[in-house]
């Protein structure tokens, strides 16, 4: 058994490193980004290999999906860069590069040594988590960590997401405030893009719902589902089938704050019902978690979609 897995590792790890090196070192930025997209895919494979399907789902949707699209979109909209000459555009000369390379190699080696020096047997919380899992009624320990035991992290994290969106919106030129993010996409009617935009969103809705539902007991959950929904929404926008919403809309804003607000509300209600902030009354853990996740999924989907769409560029309709 180990032989084949080792072979796989010995192929996969060098590929990851090669993709990363090329993403950093490729001469053209476009090439670097394509390598980064491939790198995200390879990482998703690594997560599957390590038995971390929850993470693999997130990486597949975010690392290989949204981040790549974000970077590609940005590159297409940046002004053409002048031909790169070392030093001309603020990039360091050879000596500095060498110094940086030595520093980074030393850091990587030190980090590697620290990894090798980690104690054996390795400490961890897997057993503690397994012992507490039945009390939650959930089957997926990662969901239990994210929404029950370390729900506070997750609450702050969804606030981070919303805050990033406010940050992106804060870059709107003043006359366009309240307007619509991104350009209006044009497509050939009955063309391939339109076809894709028609077929994939319903499929994505289905897959997203599946990942969301599975999340309570098997790998999946609000973040993965939200990302999938965001991706197919963006696809429908790029296919010109629908337009991004104007950011001044009250309904949109309520959807955006809805997830975090429900989470915070349930958390504060926990003060009364469970005697602790972000606590759940013993018999209602699973239904409350599913409620919070449902609200979060919607908010995350819309927030992520708008994050990638960027700052408003068109005046409100």
Partner 1 sequence: MTDAATLYGLCGAALVGIGLYGLIVQAPLLRKILAFNLIGSGVFLLLGAIAERAAPGRGDPVPHALIITGIVVALSATALAVALLLRLAGATGRSTLSPEPPPPAPGERNGG
Partner 2 sequence: MPWVVMAVALPFAGMLLALPLGRHAHRLAWAVLPSGLAVSVLLVVQVWRGGETVAYAIGGFAPPLGIALRADGLSALLVLTTALVVCATGLFALAEFRPPSAEREARASVLFWPLLFALWGALNAAFLGGDLFNLYVALELLTLAAVPLVSLEGKPETFAAALRYLLFALLGSVLYLVGVALLYGAYGTLDIALLAGAARSEPAAWAAGALMTAGLLAKTALFPLHLWLPPAHAGAPAAASAVLSGLVVKASFYLLVRLWFDALPAVAHPEAATLLAALGTAAILFGSVLALRQERLKLAVAYSTMAQLGYLFLMFPLTGGPTEAQPWSAGAWNGGILHAISHAFAKSAMFLAAGLILEAVGHDRIAGLGGIGRALPMTVFAFGLAGLSLMGLPPSGGFIAKWLLVTTALASGQWWWAVPMLAGGLLAAGYVFRVLNPALAGADEPVALRRPVPRRRQAIPLVLALLSVLLGLLPLGPYRLLWVGRPTAAEEGLG
Partner 3 sequence: MRLALDLFTVLAVSAGAFFFLAGTVGLLRFPDVLTRLHALTKADNLGLGLIVLGLLPRAEGPLAALKLLAVWLFALLAAATVAQLVARVALRRNGRSPGGSAAG
Q: How far apart are CA 41 and CA 62, in angstroms?
A: 10
Site for partner 3 in 12-31 (CB under 8 A): 28-31
Return the ∠ at Cα 232 (arms to 150 and 58), rounded to 5°.
30
Given the complex with partner 1, which of 32 and 240 has the nearer CB atom? 32
Contact 300, 230 (CB under 8 A): yes
Strand partners, 312: 181
Contact positions with partner 2 (CB under 8 A) in 173-202: 173-174, 177-178
314 closest CA partner among 182, 166, 169: 182
279 binds partner 2 (CB under 8 A): yes
- Of 18, 20, 169, 194, the one binding partner 2 (CB under 8 A) is 169
Here's the x/- map for partner 3, 172-201, by CB under 8 A: it reads as --------------------xx-xx--xx-
Q: Which is nearer to partner 1, 120 or 283 (CB)?
A: 120
Number of residues that bind partner 3 (CB under 8 A): 20
Q: If contact means CB under 5 to 8 A according to the sort of partner, which of partner 1, partner 3, partner 2, none does residue 203 touch?
A: partner 3
Distances (CA, A) of 14 to 51, 88, 136, 163: 19, 33, 40, 37
Residue 200: name its binding partner from partner 1, partner 2, partner 3, none (Cβ under 5 to 8 Å by kind): partner 3
DSSP secondary structure letters along 183-217:
PPP---TTSHHHHHHHHHHHHHHHHHHHHHHHTTT
Question: Within 10 Å of residue 207's Cβ, how many Cβ atoms?
Answer: 17
* Non-local CB neighbours of 59 within 8 Å, separated by 6+ positions: 40, 43, 44, 47
Residue 316 sits in the site that holds partner 1 (CB under 8 A): no
Name the minimum Å distance from CB 125 to partner 1: 5
**5 or 195, CB closer to partner 3?**
195
Give whichever of 48 and 193 is closer to partner 3, judged by the CB atom: 193
Choose from partner 3, partner 2, partner 1, none: what does 233 bind? Cβ within 5-8 Å by kind. Answer: none
Determine, following the binding rule CB under 8 A, whether residue 293 of this chain makes contact with partner 1: no
Positions in 72-101 near partner 3 (CB under 8 A): 75-76, 78-84
Other CB atoms within 10 A of residue 70 CB: 17
The full DSSP string for 215-229 is TTTSS--HHHHHHHH
The interface partner of residue 30, options being partner 3, partner 2, partner 1, none and the CB cut-off 5 to 8 Å by kind, is partner 3
- Here the tokens at position 12 are 């996969």
Within positions 8 to 27, which residues make up the interface with partner 1, using CB under 8 A? 9, 13, 16-17, 20-21, 23-25
Give min distance, CB of 136 to partner 2, in A. Answer: 10
Number of H helices, E strands in the chain: 12, 2
Task: Answer whether 233's CB lies under 8 Å from 243's CB.
Answer: no
Task: Tell the smallest beta-carbon distance from residue 280 to partner 1 (Å).
Answer: 17
| Eight-state DSSP code of residue 78 | S
Site string for partner 1, 133-172 (x = CB under 8 A): --------xx-xxx---x--xx--x--xx-xxx-xx--x-
> Of the two residues 42 and 288, which places its CB atom closer to partner 1 in the complex?
42
Say how far apart CA 163 and CA 140 lie, in whole Å. 28
Binding site residues, partner 3, CB under 8 A: 28-31, 75-76, 78-84, 192-193, 195-196, 199-200, 203
């Amino acid at each position: 058994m180990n032989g084949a897995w080792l072979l796989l590792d010995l192929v996969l790890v060098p590929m990851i490193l090669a993709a990363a090196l090329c993403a950093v070192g490729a001469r053209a930025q476009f090439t670097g980004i394509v390598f980064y997209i491939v790198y995200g895919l390879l990482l998703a494979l690594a997560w599957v290999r390590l038995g971390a399907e929850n993470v693999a789902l997130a990486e597949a949707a975010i690392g290989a999906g949204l981040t790549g699209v974000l970077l590609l979109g940005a590159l297409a909209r940046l002004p053409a860069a002048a031909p790169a000459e070392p030093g001309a555009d603020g990039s360091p000369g050879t000596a500095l590069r060498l110094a940086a390379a030595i520093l980074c190699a030393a850091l990587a080696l030190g980090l590697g040594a620290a990894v090798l020096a980690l104690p054996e047997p390795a400490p961890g919380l897997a057993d503690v988590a397994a012992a507490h899992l039945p009390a939650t009624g959930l089957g997926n320990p990662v969901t239990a960590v994210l929404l029950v035991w370390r729900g506070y992290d997750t609450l702050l994290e969804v606030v981070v997401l919303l805050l990033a969106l406010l940050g992106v919106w804060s870059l709107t030129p003043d006359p366009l405030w309240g307007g619509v993010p991104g350009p209006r996409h044009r497509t050939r009617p009955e063309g391939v893009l339109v076809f894709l935009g028609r077929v994939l969103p319903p499929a994505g809705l289905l897959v997203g719902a599946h990942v969301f539902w599975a999340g309570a007991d098997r790998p999946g959950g609000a973040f993965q589902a939200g990302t999938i929904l965001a991706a197919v929404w963006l696809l429908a926008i790029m296919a010109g089938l629908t337009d991004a919403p104007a950011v001044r809309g009250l309904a949109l804003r309520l959807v955006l704050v809805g997830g975090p607000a429900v989470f915070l509300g349930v958390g504060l209600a926990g003060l009364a019902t469970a005697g602790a902030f972000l606590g759940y009354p013993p018999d209602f853990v699973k239904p409350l978690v599913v409620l919070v996740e449902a609200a979060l999924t919607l908010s995350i989907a819309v927030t992520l979609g708008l994050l990638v769409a960027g700052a408003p560029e068109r005046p409100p309709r």
